[in-house]
């Protein structure tokens, strides 16, 4: 029986109000660097795709984790612009960019997020987040009025490991006090969410808003959907699998 449902955060519960590449390029112009949105976006995707997980192992103190998280992002942003030309005041730019994405006003919740979370809570399910986001996630979820739905929030840096590593899932399960068989995970990444959750025996749900099936596609303890609105229905079906 499924008693807990976990969600990925960015890309699943909420997304940036404007494309990431556009924001990077727009703010860069304020600091004397002019490059096209397309070039910046392509470079960011290469840098982010090749990056190690946002996690640093166990045993770090709170203040050290915050420093490591910020340093991880500074490296990614630096890699993004490294091939695009000299940046007049990169440090000031990075400070502004990091603060920009910490502001909940620059993110928007999926229209189905709150209604679905409310319904799941009403059905008596425990809810959690498993995310490779950094500490700024807490402020974003608060600002989007989503924190109140969750019984636990597990971020990769604090767990010591990032998705798709099983350790971050194990940490979330332990925090919720449930085993894999009684849990479901909902995310938008095949590689980071769907495949690793399924491999652990967690009921796995992939949200594919662009190419997902109009009606939920269910196979064993996995499902593919095009909208968060299908999550309650899928949970009822998967708990019988």
Last residue of a domain, one of 46, 73, 105: 105
Q: What tokens does 131 get?
A: 């995310």
Last residue of a domain, one of 105, 121, 154: 105
Tell me the per-residue pLDDT of 18-74, one tens digit each, with 9 for 90 and over: 999 999 999 999 999 999 999 999 999 999 999 999 999 999 999 999 999 999 999
- Which residue has 């994405």 as its token pair? 101
**What is the pLDDT confidence band of residue 184, given thresholds at 50, 70 and 90?**
very high
Check whether residue 172 and residue 58 sit in a common domain: no
Check whether residue 234 and residue 143 sit in a common domain: yes
**What is the pLDDT confidence band of residue 12, given thresholds at 50, 70 and 90?**
very high
DSSP code per residue over 138-176 = HHHHHHTT-GGG-SEEEEHHHHTS-TTSHHHHHHHHHHH
pLDDT at 205 over 80: yes
**What is the pLDDT confidence band of residue 156, given thresholds at 50, 70 and 90?**
very high
Check whether residue 82 and residue 23 sit in a common domain: yes
Check whether residue 131 and residue 39 sit in a common domain: no
Which contiguous run of DSSP H or E holds residue 121? Answer: helix 113-122
Half-sphere exposure of 240 (CA within 13 A, CB side): 5
Check whether residue 152 and residue 232 sit in a common domain: yes
**What is the pLDDT confidence band of residue 241, given thresholds at 50, 70 and 90?**
confident
Q: Which residues contact 205 (CB under 8 A, 6 or more apart)?
A: 184, 185, 186, 187, 194, 222, 223, 224, 225, 231, 234, 238
pLDDT at 191 over 80: yes
Task: Return d(Cα 172, Cα 180) in angstroms, integer.
Answer: 10
Last residue of a domain, one of 88, 105, 122: 105
The domain in which residue 100 lies consists of 18-105
Task: Return d(Cα 26, Cα 40) in angstroms, integer.
Answer: 10
Check whether residue 101 and residue 115 sit in a common domain: no
Q: Could you give the number of structural domains in the chain?
A: 2
Check whether residue 129 and residue 195 sit in a common domain: yes
Check whether residue 186 and residue 120 sit in a common domain: yes
| Distances in whole angstroms, Cα of residue 189 to Cα of each of 38, 89, 132 | 23, 34, 12
């Amino acid at each position: 029986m499924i008693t807990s449902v976990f969600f990925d955060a960015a890309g699943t519960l909420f997304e940036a109000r404007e494309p990431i590449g556009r924001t990077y390029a727009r703010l860069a112009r304020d600091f004397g660097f002019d490059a096209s949105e397309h070039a910046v976006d392509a470079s960011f995707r290469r840098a982010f795709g090749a990056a190690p997980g946002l996690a640093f192992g166990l045993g770090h103190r709170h203040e050290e984790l915050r420093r490591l998280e910020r340093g991880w992002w500074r490296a990614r942003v630096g890699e993004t612009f490294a091939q695009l030309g000299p940046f007049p005041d990169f440090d000031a730019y990075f400070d502004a960019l990091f603060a920009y994405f910490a502001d909940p006003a620059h993110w928007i919740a999926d229209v189905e997020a709150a209604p679905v979370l409310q319904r799941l809570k009403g059905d008596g399910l425990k809810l959690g987040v498993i995310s490779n986001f950094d500490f700024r996630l807490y402020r974003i979820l608060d600002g989007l009025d989503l924190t109140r739905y969750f019984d636990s929030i597990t971020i990769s840096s604090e767990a010591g490991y990032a998705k798709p590593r099983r350790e971050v899932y194990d940490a979330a399960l332990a925090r919720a006090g449930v085993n894999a068989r009684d849990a479901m995970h909902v995310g938008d990444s095949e590689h980071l969410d769907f495949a690793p959750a399924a491999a652990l025996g967690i009921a796995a749900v992939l949200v594919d808003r662009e190419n997902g099936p109009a009606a939920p596609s269910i196979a064993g303890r996995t499902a593919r959907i095009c909208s968060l609105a299908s999550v309650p229905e899928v949970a009822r079906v998967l708990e019988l699998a």
